[in-house]
Amino acid sequence: MSDLLDNTEEARKAVVEWLTKKAKTKSKFYIKDFYKIFPDDKPRMIKKVVNKMVEDEILEYWSSGSTTMYGLKGAGIQHSSEGEN
């Protein structure tokens, strides 16, 4: 496991920084996109960090029914249109 994933706070900071940089072009990401942040780590460990960030309401899930994506809480077009009829 990388030093980054050993330090949960640093891992969270790295994820938020990466998402903030990418926010100009995209607001939702597949779990495999997060693998680029932690190239030396196993997918299961990365998923645990991302899921914990969802639990802590730093990130949020978005699902189309067949695909699950993740993004910063409150970011993106989908978030603003949820709940409209």
User: Given this model, what pLDDT does residue 7 score?
Assistant: 80
Residue 35 in this model has a pLDDT that exceeds 70 = yes
pLDDT: is 29 or 64 the higher one? Answer: 29
Domain map of the chain by residue range?
3-72
Q: Could you give the CA distance from residue 34 to residue 39 in angstroms, rounded to a whole number?
A: 9
User: Given this model, what pLDDT does residue 15 score?
Assistant: 93
Map residue 10 onto helix, strand or coil.
helix
Strands (E), 1-85: 59-63, 68-72
pLDDT tens, position by position, 53-83: 999 999 999 888 888 999 998 776 654 455 5
Cα distance between the two ends of the chain:
46
Contact by Cβ (8 Å): 58, 72: yes
Output the pTM of the full model.
0.77
Among the listed residues 77, 4, 78, 68, the one whose alpha carbon sits nearest the alpha carbon of residue 36: 4
| Candidate CATH numbers 1.10.10.10, 1.20.140.10, 1.10.460.10, 1.10.10.60; the one for domain 3-72 | 1.10.10.10
Among the listed residues 84, 73, 82, the one whose alpha carbon sits nearest the alpha carbon of residue 27: 73
